[in-house]
Chain A
Amino acid sequence: MSSQQQLPPLVEPGADLTVDEIERYSRHLIIPEVGMTGQRRLKNARVLVIGAGGLGSPALLYLAAAGVGTIGIVDDDVVDTSNLQRQVIHGVDDVGRLKAESARDAVARLNPLVDVVLHVVRLDSTNALDIFSGYDLILDGTDNFATRYLVNDAAAILGKPYVWGSIYRFDGQISVFWDKYGPNYRDLYPEAPPPGSVPSCAEGGVLGMLPASVGSVMVTEAIKLITGTGETLLGRLMIYDSLAMRWREVRVRKDPDAEPITHLVDYEAFCGILPADAADAADSAAISVRELAGMLEARGRGDDDFELIDVREPGEYEIVNIPGSVLVPKAKIIDGDALARFSGRKLVFHCKSGARSAEALAVAQRAGFDSAVHVDGGVAAWVEEIEPAKPSY
């Protein structure tokens, strides 16, 4: 694994350090591999962090503490109470604020010498190249496949390196992609999984301290790239299993058959965010939570007959569920035979907010459940309108 070519430092050294900076960064300055020159490279560096969430939280804090001169933050989301279990850059007082602004304030408290630039937008094909062009290096901590392919392609087109980290429950994956000098994300994963086959953090959960492990490695790679120190993860993928507490490493090579990346595409279509038939199904066969409440009452009296199927994950069902529902996680429906036992029944699907139930509905309609419907707004709407004493998540 030691065959990697030595990469040149990404950033030229900036101005001499001030007395205050020398004191602040002294523990870096006395490491020969960083030293005064390396710290001046960090001071001159412009790093863009995409997502001020799980991975973005530790990444932003460590980049700031290390003395990266300019940090850009791309995020248009607001802080939610359920973020605080892992997104340690935000606090209770930040709930409801823009994550980008909350993160900017936290960086300023930690290191006022850092210049923070906010991009309060959703990254898309119209703005990615423009935003990226102002930075030396990008850290990808987004939470969806479409944005990850967009980040890869924009970085490749501009010849810029980026550090990629991705998490799921107890596991993480990290690599460095730099199309100019080695493999890119498409060489590792040419295609995204079918929509819905991998639960997101919101659906599948994530161990709160997992982002710290993965995010700190991402920053380590960023610092090495900027200063030209050590051996980066370009051409290697690290795989972290926190339950077994084991790191594994595999090689990533350029795919000789891959098409060169020359332009941005429609990433939602590429990743199939919500299949078209699911979108159609969602539009044509949705009921409100009030209608569902009426149907459940009628069923209790024996005046209606249907099966209410909750397609979320078991952990979500445990937090809150609609009385009278049965749990059949969506993956089991999409994979095939979970609906067979309901043959001939009228089916009503629901999930947390309506996206997964629409996908399940489309599968059911294709399987001949013509009268199937799904619940608009899911259990979130149910709690809001029907049983407000129950928890939301």
Chain B
Amino acid sequence: MTDRAMSAASSPGDVAGTGSETGTGQSVSVVLPPVLAALAGDRKLLRLPVPDMTTVAAVLDLLGRDNPVLDRRIRDETRAVRRHVNLFVEGEDVRDLDGVSTEIRPGQELFIIQSVAGG
């Protein structure tokens, strides 16, 4: 699973390949940084089924349903995205779009990064 998951974590422009590889057209890909992947069973790539056009907040709700600790690391008690975590839909920071209300549709990717300080 890991090898295929990593090879499918494609660049923002490579949308078509993301959904078709598993035959699940109706899903969004969530790509996690390693610090957070540890809280999702060491999975860097998760495919979450979505009915149709949805929002980043709805995808995070779905992600948090099975991974509550991960959810707490991404969002605070008020459901706001933590300030050391950034979310990108197709390479664009959602803070520059509509925040967690930003729309995301099946086949697209939610790319999550978080601040690290090692040197």
A residues whose Cβ falls under 8 Å from a Cβ of B:
51, 53-56, 140-145, 148, 165-171, 173, 188-193, 197-201, 204, 206, 211, 237, 239, 243-244, 246, 248-253, 255, 335-336
Contact = CB atoms under 8 A, between A and B. Distances in A.
B118 interface: yes
Contacts, number: 104
Contacts of B44: 244
Contacts of B79: none
Interface stretch (B15-23, B54-62, B81-89): B81-89
Interface string B11-48: 11000000000000000000001110001000010000
Nearest to A171: B34
B6 A166 contact: no
Contact size range, B: 20 to 34
B83 A142 contact: no
* Interface-central residue, B39, B44, B72, B119, by most chain A CB under 10 Å: B119
B119 to A, nearest CB: 4
A189 B83 contact: yes
30 contacts: A53-B119, A54-B119, A141-B119, A143-B117, A143-B118, A148-B117, A166-B116, A167-B118, A168-B34, A168-B35, A168-B118, A170-B34, A173-B116, A188-B115, A189-B86, A189-B115, A193-B115, A197-B73, A198-B114, A198-B116, A198-B117, A206-B118, A211-B119, A237-B113, A244-B9, A248-B111, A249-B91, A250-B111, A253-B93, A255-B95
Interface of B: 6-7, 9, 11-12, 33-35, 39, 44, 69, 72-73, 82-84, 86, 88, 91-93, 95-96, 111, 113-119
Given A168-B34, A198-B35, A251-B92, A142 B119 contact: yes
A204 B35 CA distance: 10
Nearest to B3: A244
Contact of B84 (A173, A189, A199): A189
Nearest to B5: A244
Given A167-B118, A336-B69, A192 B34 contact: no
A251 B96 contact: yes
A142 B69 contact: no
